[in-house]
Structure formats: C-alpha cells, structure tokens
Amino acid sequence: MTIRPIIEVPDKRLKTVSQPVTEVTDDTRALMNDMLETMYDANGIGLAAIQIGVASRVIVMDISQRAQADSPPEEKAEEDAAEDIDLTGETGPRFFVNPEIVWVSEETNNYQEGCLSVPGFYDDVERPSQCRVAFLDYDGAAQELECDGLLATCIQHEMDHLEGIVFLDRLSRLKRQIVLKKIAKAERDAAGAK
C-alpha cells in the first residue's frame, strides 16, 4: 500500500466527474488499498478516488476513525494494516465501487462537515438523514447498504466528489467566498515564505 498525495481546493481536478469502473480488478483493489492507507494517514473517515487524482467512481470509508480523528493514527507495518481490513465492510473499512444512491429519506440532518481536500475548514451541511446505496464491493459483488447518521452523511459527501462537488459547493455563496479567500491568502503566505 502507498500513501498518495491528496489534492486540495482550488485544484480543478476536484471538479471532474468521475468515470464508472468497468470491472473490479486487482488494480482496482490496489487503488482502494492505497486510498485507505492515504485516508488513515490524513486522519480522515472517507476518501474518493478523485481526491488523489484518479477520476474513477471509487470511495473508501471508515467512520470508526472519527473517534481517532484528533490523535495521530498508530503506525503499523504494511502487513499489519492489511490484516486489519474487514472486507465484509461490517466494521472498519468500507469499499464502494460505482456507488449509486437509490433512495433518500425526506428527513434531513445538519452535520458539521470537513474535507481532506479542504483542510482546516468545517461548516454545517444539510443532507438527507438516511439513504440506501447500491455499489460493488471490494471483490466486485453487488451490494446494497442502508445508511443513517454519520454513515449517511459521509457516503453522500464522498459521492458528491464523484460528481465534481466539494462540500464548499453546498454552503451559501458568502460562506464559500470567505473560505476560498482564506485558502487563497494561505497559499500566498506559503509562497511568500519560500
């Protein structure tokens, strides 16, 4: 497994609509393994392939990471990390290839979201509180998953990435402009420090 660089706003690749995966292969699984390792390294709970510059409809998630988000992850040997992967997705890591939301609840929730591609910025986003997702799993088998709470929020957030949408696009125009100005200023400050 390899930790890959995560692209950040304002990188235009984040606006790319990702393409369907024609077949889950060893290359697809290697991508998912790299994504998972990258997500853990960044203390995230979800990652879409486009966030590492791959325009494929692939997502990895592990919402159990939320409890550990404020502290650095344990460092593990590559083989130990591979042993921790629960390929069933019942607990721990989940893998979604070509995910499609097939149902959403009318009830909504507000949840304070952040994004590995927009580091350091968080804001409330309203989304359906429940959804049902059809997808291919790590082995390419068709699955459906009922999601609610944080799982529903996270899968919808990551699926937005597959459509070229970052969570900033879900904010009011004013809030989005404030965040983008802060990002631009941080980039100028970083460039000036070099």
Neighbours of 116 (CB within 10 A): 20
Catalytic residue among 75, 83, 146, 158: 158
Question: Is residue 154, in this structure, part of any structural domain at all?
Answer: yes
Return mean pLDDT, the chain.
88
Answer yes or no: are the C-beta atoms of 45 and 7 closer than 8 Å: no
Question: Is residue 59, in this structure, part of any structural domain at all?
Answer: yes
Q: pLDDT-derived band of residue 75, with 50, 70 and 90 as boundaries? A: very low
Question: Is residue 187, in this structure, part of any structural domain at all?
Answer: yes
Whether residue 90 lies in the annotated active site: no
Taking the C-alpha atoms of residue 185 and residue 38, their distance in angstroms, rounded to an integer, is 26
| CATH number where 88 lies | 3.90.45.10
Task: Give residues with Cβ within 8 angstroms of 4, minimum separation 6.
Answer: 34, 35, 38, 52, 53
Above pLDDT 70, what percent of the chain? 86
Residue ranges making up the domain that contains 111: 12-193
Residue 125: helix, strand or coil by DSSP? strand
Number of domains the chain contains: 1
Question: Is residue 123, in this structure, part of any structural domain at all?
Answer: yes
Neighbours of 182 (CB within 10 A): 12
Q: pLDDT-derived band of residue 30, with 50, 70 and 90 as boundaries? A: very high
